[in-house]
Structure 1
């Protein structure tokens, strides 16, 4: 029994579910717990101490923790962690400290039939997934049965013409994220498609082995995984010819990186298309997606609006096709306090994306509004600079942020880059030479307004979230430390 089946049983029982990242700290869990106040917490055996620490942090008694915690390990889960007894038996009984084992809930036959959510009942919430929101702590977003049903039916409409009886999905994206939950858990089950579950997330060798062994055809992934498949040497050891479809989401993907990935997979026999989509937790995954039939003609686009979705591109006034604008999408309302900065007065969800729409209604991502830099009155999109830098043969990954000029107030673009070959930054001299080579090349690609006046800094890896988004906050903190260090150096020099 896989964990998705456990979640499905909760849905069948009419329960609401909130999902948490396995990497959550006790502090992060406490925010979610106090916000939701769940009746029970299902947790893997080895993560029970984290949940117990969370209860201690919020002042709950050990008895309260025991009542709420349920170990969700099945026999196959426990077999990976426990040693059999002398009879070769592995127990899935209650865990340490008296917390409940899943066996207490299995086989009781208390539910004669699943709960139905027809008519008005379809508006009931089934999931509460957490989104980074616009400010502060993550916000809980209520997703209804109707939301999930709608996204499944629209996905079916887009994909039905190109599906085959041989389709095999592979699931390596986190199920606590709406992309993984809707597209890799619900959709394949609805369509009767087998899913290869990689419970430990993405790892290049494990992924390639699974694709070759199970003849995986359909891969949903995020830009960091696309980058890995484009550069990792282990890819050359496997037959990946079964892959026919790649779908990217959760973060912007440059055309250069998309082409690089397709070319690499082609050397392993794959004749695949790559399409992008754009959406959020608030829009139940996809708001726009490219239909497979348009994957070549509209390569680089995140697609048209999916059926049932409406959007407004906003500047000071309604924009015209071809211009860059912030997009507002029609979405369900939720908690009033969180909505204050998320919805317009007339009910449109403010996505914060800056998009361009062509004459055919296809959208193209420019950047996030909050990421845009302003220099000398010009707006500079970090995503554009990142896409250009990734074209350099020595650059493996990149993240661009702005450094505030304390005199002019301008935001100076700074690039953090990691080399495709780690030996390029093995010492201070080689690191400096690498940075200088990239900077010199970059100046030949862009107009002076886009020069990296904030500098280039080489890192072994660009910090990213589990869903592939660049952790720009971490990069900004690095930059602030560099600025403080430079100021101290100047002060000491004057002394």
Structure 2
């Protein structure tokens, strides 16, 4: 029987088969003088033409002036070549666009690391991606040095591989002494033409974002030029219904994450809309002040930020009337929370359309979006399929489910990753023989072609815009001298939609369980210990619970469903206790 394949409800679009750089700066015809990126703090602005010019000059410097230990023989220094990989480790700054597109113009691949990553976490990504150098923000140089020490790279070799970037748009930017300075590569020489990736070459990998996997090791998602270029026009197929020529976008999301990378670094250039960058992260009053100062129309938010805005007094102290669109993604958004924020903005004169969608690193951000005219009617849905994206819904036996029945979503299309870097096992389990990507998300489809998330087949914990692998946390926790065994699950915060990592831990000393005081102290010690071992979003915000033993199957697999049931029982007890206390 032929598979049941669902398609987008709107017409397909042309698939873009060019380099991202070629497409954004040479094929799309926007004025070079158009404002492209603005630093919200000081108003520093760079135009579209300045991004292109400095990117091409940086590209020349990268290819001609950087000597690195050779790939096959580290003792022999060689120039960067087309297809080599560089790592970027930096929070959002105004240097990002020129650095990013300079590397792309040079024909390089890029892998992006979280600016909160530890040396341990960086070491795996560095080794797996086969990066040759790392471009790093000045305050993060030490963590890179620590990473190199961890993997046995000499100080001399590390110094050769570290390139520091800050204020790359300035000719006289202050420098960190004793380090290679990326800005020094931006001289008078320039590439006459960017490296081309036309036709089938657009299938080459350009970005490698790391997505946590259930095996514990983050997986390098290979995103191609075609993936990124095509998703831009696919997204606009929905957004054009609410876009205007006066739009000003606000950038809050980390651009090392696919959401921020696609929607902050690429979409504004594609749509010719300026992006105002809040590079110090979200703070409610600064957010409101920025909206008022720059007359922001479009903001891309995640539920935790919506939660803050739902109660913060700053909204009542600034002019928020310019906001017309809020795009929310990366985590579920409750109707109660959304309506509270929208009502507050409406009271301040803002007529806002809430745009929701769903996607992942593997789908190059959105795979489904809610049409603006259905934003109220279909609230709670993650949307309909983007143009050119096809879907199947299958049961546990990989057979298509009946209409209206929930099933695991499989996707196929020009915006879907070509696979995981150096990981044939993950590719075999995540892709069908005929090329369908198995998302691991269980959804149902209504009669209008709108999809609703029902469950998550995979074990990943989604906290804010991040993915946390239970197995990764378990491996680290087992290094604690007081921990004998451990199982990690996510517990849901019903209001924010976040999953909070919780560890169930078997102590080495079973006598700890005989005293409530000793048990509580042990749990707090473990929870505090892991703070220094992982990035902030992997912390055990759901707590640590000491158990006599971790439930496992006959083959030794952790029975997470049993832990989830235990968490439900604990939640009911806590609720009863809170109710009794009120009485």
TM-score bin (small chain): 0.7 to 0.9
1:434 matched residue in structure 2 = none
Q: Deviations over 1:188-229 (max 9, x none)?
A: 111110111011221111111111110101011111111111
Q: Please state if 1:8 is matched with 2:74.
A: no
The whole-number CA distance in structure 2 between the counterparts of 1:30 and 1:347 is 31
SS in 1 for 2:142: helix
Kindly report which structure 2 residues correspond to 1:96-115, keeping only aligned pairs within 5 A, or say none: 96=177, 98-115=178-195
The whole-number CA distance in structure 2 between the counterparts of 1:147 and 1:30 is 27
The whole-number CA distance in structure 1 between the counterparts of 2:250 and 2:408 is 34
2:343 matched residue in structure 1 = 263
Kindly report which structure 2 residues correspond to 1:232-243, keeping only aligned pairs within 5 A, or say none: 232-243=312-323
With over 3 angstroms needed to count, the CA separation of the structure-2 counterparts of 1:355 and 1:401, relative to structure 1, is farther
The whole-number CA distance in structure 1 between the counterparts of 2:314 and 2:545 is 34
1:443 matched residue in structure 2 = none
SS in 1 for 2:332: coil
Between 3-12 and 104-113, report the one with greater CA deviation: 104-113
Between 114-123 and 140-149, report the one with greater CA deviation: 114-123
1:253: how far off? Answer: 1.4
Between 65-74 and 256-265, report the one with greater CA deviation: 256-265
2:331 matched residue in structure 1 = 251
2:449 matched residue in structure 1 = 361
The whole-number CA distance in structure 1 between the counterparts of 2:192 and 2:181 is 23
The question of whether the paired residues in 2 share the 8 Å contact of 1:75 and 1:92 is answered with no
TM-score by length of 1: 0.73
The question of whether the paired residues in 1 share the 8 Å contact of 2:309 and 2:341 is answered with yes
1:91: how far off? Answer: 5.2
Q: Please state if 1:151 is matched with 2:231.
A: yes
With over 3 angstroms needed to count, the CA separation of the structure-2 counterparts of 1:223 and 1:188, relative to structure 1, is same
The whole-number CA distance in structure 2 between the counterparts of 1:106 and 1:402 is 47
Q: Residue 70 of structure 1 is aligned with which of 158, 163, 186?
A: 163
SS in 2 for 1:126: strand
TM-score by length of 2: 0.63
Which sections of structure 1, spanning at least 5 residues, go unmatched? 79-89, 373-381, 391-395, 407-458, 485-495
2:400 matched residue in structure 1 = 318
SS in 2 for 1:173: coil
The whole-number CA distance in structure 2 between the counterparts of 1:481 and 1:237 is 49
Which sections of structure 2, spanning at least 5 residues, go unmatched? 1-93, 461-489, 507-526, 551-583
The question of whether the paired residues in 1 share the 8 Å contact of 2:123 and 2:147 is answered with yes
Aligned Cα root-mean-square deviation (Å): 3.2
2:419 matched residue in structure 1 = 333
The question of whether the paired residues in 2 share the 8 Å contact of 1:19 and 1:129 is answered with yes
The whole-number CA distance in structure 2 between the counterparts of 1:267 and 1:468 is 35
The whole-number CA distance in structure 1 between the counterparts of 2:458 and 2:191 is 48
The whole-number CA distance in structure 2 between the counterparts of 1:226 and 1:174 is 16
Q: Please state if 1:190 is matched with 2:304.
A: no
With over 3 angstroms needed to count, the CA separation of the structure-2 counterparts of 1:371 and 1:243, relative to structure 1, is same
The question of whether the paired residues in 1 share the 8 Å contact of 2:333 and 2:497 is answered with no
1:9: how far off? Answer: 1.4
With over 3 angstroms needed to count, the CA separation of the structure-2 counterparts of 1:480 and 1:151, relative to structure 1, is farther
The whole-number CA distance in structure 2 between the counterparts of 1:480 and 1:350 is 35
SS in 2 for 1:479: strand
Q: Which has the higher contact order (CA 8 A, sep 6+)?
A: 2
Q: Residue 540 of structure 2 is aligned with which of 471, 474, 483?
A: 474
The whole-number CA distance in structure 2 between the counterparts of 1:210 and 1:68 is 37
The whole-number CA distance in structure 2 between the counterparts of 1:150 and 1:203 is 33
1:14: how far off? Answer: 1.1
The whole-number CA distance in structure 2 between the counterparts of 1:257 and 1:91 is 43
1:217 matched residue in structure 2 = 297
The question of whether the paired residues in 2 share the 8 Å contact of 1:179 and 1:285 is answered with yes
SS in 2 for 1:231: coil
The whole-number CA distance in structure 2 between the counterparts of 1:363 and 1:467 is 32
The whole-number CA distance in structure 2 between the counterparts of 1:327 and 1:253 is 20
Q: Residue 51 of structure 1 is aligned with which of 133, 144, 169?
A: 144
Q: Deviations over 1:93-150 (max 9, x none)?
A: 4x34x32012321124141211222101111111101111333121110100000011
The whole-number CA distance in structure 2 between the counterparts of 1:55 and 1:257 is 44
The whole-number CA distance in structure 2 between the counterparts of 1:338 and 1:349 is 11
1:173: how far off? Answer: 0.2
SS in 1 for 2:310: helix
SS in 2 for 1:282: helix
2:219 matched residue in structure 1 = 139
The whole-number CA distance in structure 1 between the counterparts of 2:135 and 2:502 is 41
With over 3 angstroms needed to count, the CA separation of the structure-2 counterparts of 1:72 and 1:482, relative to structure 1, is farther
Q: Please state if 1:39 is matched with 2:132.
A: yes
The question of whether the paired residues in 2 share the 8 Å contact of 1:162 and 1:292 is answered with yes
Between 363-372 and 146-155, report the one with greater CA deviation: 363-372
The whole-number CA distance in structure 2 between the counterparts of 1:363 and 1:348 is 18
Q: Please state if 1:348 is matched with 2:436.
A: yes
1:476: how far off? Answer: 5.9
The question of whether the paired residues in 2 share the 8 Å contact of 1:45 and 1:73 is answered with yes
Aligned length in residues = 396
The whole-number CA distance in structure 1 between the counterparts of 2:546 and 2:332 is 26
The whole-number CA distance in structure 1 between the counterparts of 2:376 and 2:439 is 27
2:206 matched residue in structure 1 = 126
Q: Residue 174 of structure 2 is aligned with which of 83, 87, 92?
A: 92
1:400: how far off? Answer: 7.3
